[in-house]
């Protein structure tokens, strides 16, 4: 699959196989995140890989899944993430920036994961205070987001948005994700 195909096929995965991700692959994802664009090249992002099964279970209790389809959006036992990467912004490196850097880092993590057959869910609906304590983060580090990872156990589908942006599951459990049409979001030369 070339890069263009990969970008167009990437979907958020919320159901995972109970199969560990090799640590060198998790490290490679962070290497890709480290090399993401950074405002003024300040490079404020730092990362915590969580792959110990007990710690992964702890993180799971502090993240919130798929509000549109709750509680069906929460992965059941046996289909939960096997690892997480926490994306941090170290404010000693940048006092007033970092969220764009974190977003670029998250995308690099997700594309590197996808290139190796790993599914990902970028999560911002998280209990930051609890996760910061769990990870032992210093005060200067802000927890921006978390990327949940694992080998996919689902294949969400994209469909044209009609009346609602809300994703939904059909009777077979397939996740449908409505997306706005290109003609609705693209403007040429001016709005």
Domains, the chain, ordered by start? 3-154 (3.40.109.10), 156-191 (2.20.180.10)
- pLDDT tens for 124-145 read 999 999 999 999 999 999 999 9
Poorest-pLDDT segment among 31-35, 54-58, 69-73, 119-123: 69-73
Q: Token pair of 154, please?
A: 């689902």
Indicate the length of the chain as a whole number: 191
Triad 175, 178, 182: Cα angle to 5°: 145
Share of the chain above pLDDT 90, in %: 91
Residue listed under structure tokens 């003024």 = 40
Distance CA 31, CA 105 (A): 10
Q: Terminal CA-to-CA distance of the chain, rounded, Å?
A: 34
* Cβ contact 106:122 at 8 Å: yes
Q: Classify residue 159 as exposed, middle or buried by CB count within 10 Å of its CB (0-12, 13-18, 19+).
A: exposed
Whether the per-residue pLDDT at 154 is higher than 90: the answer is yes
Residue 136 region, left (φ>0) first, then alpha (ψ -120 to 50), else beta? left
Distance CA 131, CA 153 (A): 26
Q: In Å, how far are 46, 128, 136, 143, 162 from 90, measured between CA atoms? A: 7, 15, 14, 9, 41
| Predicted TM-score (pTM) of this structure | 0.95
pLDDT score of 7: 92
H or E element: which one contains 147?
strand 141-150
């Amino acid at each position: 699959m070339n890069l263009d195909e990969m970008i167009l096929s990437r979907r958020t995965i919320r159901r995972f196989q109970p199969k560990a991700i090799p640590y060198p692959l998790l490290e490679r994802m962070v290497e890709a995140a480290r090399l993401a664009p950074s405002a003024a090249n300040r490079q404020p992002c730092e990362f915590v890989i969580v792959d110990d099964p007990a710690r992964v279970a702890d993180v799971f209790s502090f993240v919130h899944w798929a509000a549109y389809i709750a509680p069906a959006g929460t992965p059941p036992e046996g289909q939960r993430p096997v690892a997480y990467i926490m994306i941090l912004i170290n404010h000693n490196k940048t006092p007033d920036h970092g969220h764009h850097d974190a977003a670029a880092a998250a995308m690099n993590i997700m594309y590197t994961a996808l290139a190796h057959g790993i599914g990902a869910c970028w999560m911002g609906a998280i209990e930051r205070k609890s996760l910061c304590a769990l990870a032992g983060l210093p005060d200067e580090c802000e927890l921006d987001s978390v990327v949940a990872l694992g080998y996919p156990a689902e294949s969400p589908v994209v469909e044209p948005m009609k009346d609602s942006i809300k994703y939904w599951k059909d009777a077979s459990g397939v996740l449908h994700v409505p997306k706005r049409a290109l003609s609705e979001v693209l403007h040429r030369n001016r709005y």
